[in-house]
Structure 1
């Protein structure tokens, strides 16, 4: 073998490095292929609906697509004017509505504008009966004819609303989500008898907080017991804690409805022992009380399990050391054991609160009008009203509130962990 046939160390090292790089790339590709189904599922089932919700909350194409000539003609009309738009606007309106009626999109416009001002459906139905027979060349002028169709065409607020919501994108849904509206280009609060969403947001927040607190009060002793008793007894108790997970949520909620109703088990028992008169039974269903009781029981395991997972890692020797130094049982618990369980409290609290904020079935079945959450309002707008824009705005506000709450939790728990460390 000659000198030229002998591989140099540099060439050998470079070849090995390339082979190692190819092996690592193949390994990463295999790992990516393994998680690809999960990534696709997350994108399709989670990210895409959120993006769609965000788009729908600001999208407003119906008005400009249905009335393009009218919107163009309205650009020169001052919304603060005390006069109705001029004749060219009415002529453009007739031309646009004739096309919309032919394409069967006029009622879509009415449905959209009804979210901002009542009466548009009636206006569109009368236009559908009369306008198709009007000749744009010979039947003008159209201003008086349109005003004769329905008195709301002669209302300034009709035209102001039409111009205010003529942009392809709008903040109108977010304004409605916080009980505001746009009138004459200015943002104003809706009448008190129509204000609903802020009250529902507030009710959802404080009731979810109360439910979170109740699960903590009830779950902390259970988790403490699970973490400090013998293994075989702890396993049996843990099975009892997990037992509700094996029962349908609908069944559990319906069971509470049976227990708490006027002729239910609880009222019957209270009457039997004489605490409540038969003609004065307690009202425990279709109100806030029923929602709090039912949701506390349903969400209790979500508080117990994070607490248990943290308490299980706390060495018992810490408490024994505190007692050996003269601390009584309460001092040893409060000064030594409790601070180490704070991360479990934070994790359980954020989990229960976030789940409670978005709960729908339980408030729907046992809450009644006074126990309705914002999620029930979202469902109503979705299924009954078909107001997808308002659904998107309400859902986005709720999502942002949860993200802010999670950010605060992360900051607080992070500080606590540093102090404990």
Structure 2
């Protein structure tokens, strides 16, 4: 009789791979489940991502593009631009062919009522060129005749100056650094060299410095006023602290415009505060203090408006600090001042950092309050951005100023992260 073959012991498959009941490897199944869960999570957050892209990232990208975008001359007088780039040596006025080409394109744009766009763009580089372009286009469209070089120079001597043609050539590139240079009080001259703006036009560096100074001062004042108030709120019984919290939040329930207008009533020369100081004898009627339409009015109004943004983060952190910490420090022999300085204050720093960076960033971009109460010395860079967007219509310069302001905030945010750490910032 042949020997019986022993049965193989029951167990996992020979390849030692764990599988599900239907034979699919367990790792593959886990990957499929994880992928499905990620797709579901992505679908849930997709509306928020689309909202952020459409309302935040896309406008910032368009702003950055507009700060360097320079399409006007390329689209309005393209053949003149091409000839200046290839056939003009920059010495003296160009030849008759370039004058004739510009005349033809000027007539076309004048009839299409688009010639003012060319003049406006060139006027950003040199004051007076807008009137030169429109006057010349109107004249040659009505009675201009060849030779065009003599006709142009007869209309205005500036057409015989190489400087005018140099400005046209350097302003004709598709992308330009001119707006960013203007935002830091520099410019390109007609040869293309970077030079400083004339003394009377150097305003943007001053405005950036004033904006950072006012923002830092408002942040410091909000901290000096808000820290004791938050400490009081955190230490009072619940009923009293809730009442004070309502008073802190009360400005949020009032229009920003109303609050700012109220400060105009209080701070003006014939206002409530000056009347009170005259009534109690601290001031004479002729010695009333000018507290409005200057930097003082801006600082006072902004401090009042932004104070809750400092109080709330600090209070939310203070509320989580156990009172036993201070009692333990006192029981170990520390004076109240030392216990506060070495035990309580370090624990409040995350809230202080959150409130400070929140108030500072809000201050940097403030517009309504400086516009209403700031006057000439209390304006900030946001007011100039609004001016170029609404009145001068120099959107390229407005975009460049906005981009530099955004870059300054990001740099300060990066420094804060390096020195203190964003991970230590808490809102409660």
Work out whether the TM-score is over 0.5: yes
Asked whether 1:171 is paired with 2:181, we answer: no
Deviation of residue 239 (structure 1)? 1.5
Asked whether 1:37 is paired with 2:58, we answer: no
Deviation of residue 403 (structure 1)? 0.6
TM-align CA RMSD: 2.3
C-alpha distance in 2, partners of 1:27/1:416?
Answer: 28
CA contact (8 A) 1:227 1:308 kept: yes
Return the match for 1:85 from 85, 88, 94. 94
Asked whether 1:195 is paired with 2:202, we answer: yes
- The C-alpha deviation readout for 1:45-89, integer Å capped at 9, x for no partner, is 11111010000000011112222221222123334x3x2222222
Gaps of 5+ in 2: 1-7
CA contact (8 A) 2:221 2:303 kept: yes
CA contact (8 A) 1:343 1:413 kept: no
Counterpart of 2:67 in structure 1 is 57
**Cα gap change, 1:395/1:107 in structure 2, threshold over 3 Å: closer, same or farther?**
same
**Cα gap change, 1:258/1:97 in structure 2, threshold over 3 Å: closer, same or farther?**
same
Asked whether 1:316 is paired with 2:338, we answer: no
Deviation of residue 416 (structure 1)? 9.6
C-alpha distance in 1, partners of 2:181/2:253?
Answer: 42
The TM-score normalised by the length of structure 1 is: 0.91
The TM-score normalised by the length of structure 2 is: 0.90
CA contact (8 A) 1:126 1:150 kept: no
Counterpart of 1:107 in structure 2 is 116
Secondary structure, counterpart of 2:187 in structure 1: strand
C-alpha distance in 2, partners of 1:24/1:253?
Answer: 54
**Cα gap change, 1:228/1:389 in structure 2, threshold over 3 Å: closer, same or farther?**
same
Q: Which moved more, 1:70-79 or 1:161-170?
A: 70-79
Secondary structure, counterpart of 1:31 in structure 2: helix
Counterpart of 1:262 in structure 2 is 269
Deviation of residue 24 (structure 1)? 4.5
- The C-alpha deviation readout for 1:178-199, integer Å capped at 9, x for no partner, is 1111112111111111111000
**Cα gap change, 1:236/1:21 in structure 2, threshold over 3 Å: closer, same or farther?**
farther
CA contact (8 A) 1:306 1:345 kept: yes
Counterpart of 2:336 in structure 1 is 329
Deviation of residue 22 (structure 1)? 5.1
Secondary structure, counterpart of 2:194 in structure 1: strand
- The C-alpha deviation readout for 1:337-359, integer Å capped at 9, x for no partner, is 11221222111111111100000
Secondary structure, counterpart of 1:58 in structure 2: coil
C-alpha distance in 2, partners of 1:415/1:222?
Answer: 24
- The C-alpha deviation readout for 1:242-284, integer Å capped at 9, x for no partner, is 1111111111001001110111111111111011111221100
The structure with the larger Rg is 2
Question: Aligned residues, how many?
Answer: 409
C-alpha distance in 1, partners of 2:233/2:379?
Answer: 35
**Cα gap change, 1:55/1:417 in structure 2, threshold over 3 Å: closer, same or farther?**
closer
Counterpart of 2:235 in structure 1 is 228
C-alpha distance in 2, partners of 1:321/1:389?
Answer: 61
Counterpart of 1:127 in structure 2 is 136
Deviation of residue 96 (structure 1)? 1.9
Q: Which moved more, 1:397-406 or 1:39-48?
A: 39-48
C-alpha distance in 1, partners of 2:259/2:19?
Answer: 71
Gaps of 5+ in 1: none
C-alpha distance in 2, partners of 1:417/1:72?
Answer: 57
Asked whether 1:180 is paired with 2:186, we answer: yes
